[in-house]
Amino acid sequence: MPGDRCGERLSTLARLGPLESRVVEIVWRRRAPVSVRDLQRDLSGLAYTTVMTTLDRLYKKGLLRRHKEGRAFLYSTRITPHELQQTLAQRLAGWLLGATRESARPLLSGLVDTLGEADGALLEELERMIRQRREQLRREGR
């Protein structure tokens, strides 16, 4: 679903490092596809390869799209500031109104309701205790 994809990108956006965030901001401000060279001018002091690697990382994270023009790639954002605002507002409303994934936990009573904490070593130890207890009950004739 497009909304979900937007939400995923928003989560990625929230985890960006300072340089990545700056790059996304600049691409947004420009409102048109940018090349590595264009961006390097705005990020004075940074090496061409640093800017190129950062853009490539953002492309791989799904935040930027790119197309080739001549010999260079041109980058643009996959999520617009408007979409970002909309998704943030939706998330806030969802959180306020209890429509988060956490609150949508199914109403089910399970035999083992607490998955995750049971690692293999613990289960083996519990099985050993069960065997011992079984043996003890057998000896006691219960």
Partner 1 sequence: MTYLLVGACFCLAGFVAMDLAATGWIAVLLRLVGDGARRWSPIQRRRFFAAVRVLPCAAGLLFAALVVGPGYAWLEPRGARESVGPMLALVALGAIVLLARGPLSALSAWRATRRLEITWLRVSDRLEAPEVGFPVWRVREGSAGFWLSGLLRPRLIVSAEALDALTPVERAAAFGHERAHAASRDNLVRLGLAACPGALSLTSLGRRVEREWVGAAEADADRRAVGGSPAAAVELASALVKVARLAPPPPAHAVAASALGDGDINTRVRSLLAGDLSRRAPLRAQAVAWAGILVPLVAVAALSLDHTVVGMLHDLAEHLVRRF
Q: Is 89 in the site for partner 1 (CB under 8 A)?
A: no
Per CB under 8 A, 110 contacts partner 1: yes
Between 72 and 130, CB nearer to partner 1 = 130
Q: Which is nearer to partner 1, 44 or 114 (CB)?
A: 114
Contacts (Cβ under 8 Å, ≥6 apart) of 93: 99
If one asks whether residue 1 binds partner 1 (CB under 8 A), the answer comes out as no
CB of 131 to partner 1, least distance (A): 9
Q: Does 127 bind partner 1 (CB under 8 A)?
A: yes
Which of 45, 71, 117, 121 touches partner 1 (CB under 8 A)? 117
According to the binding rule CB under 8 A, does residue 44 interact with partner 1?
A: no
Are 38 and 30 within 8 A, CB to CB? yes
Contact indicator for 76, 27 with CB cutoff of 8 Å: yes
* Dihedral in degrees, nearest 10, Cα atoms 20, 21, 25, 31: 50
Among 45, 67, 116, 121, binds partner 1 (CB under 8 A): 116
Rounded alpha-carbon distances, angstroms, from residue 59 to 17, 80, 132, 134? 14, 15, 57, 59
Q: Which of 32, 45, 109, 139 binds partner 1 (CB under 8 A)?
A: 109
Report helix angle 18-30 to 48-60, nearest 10: 80
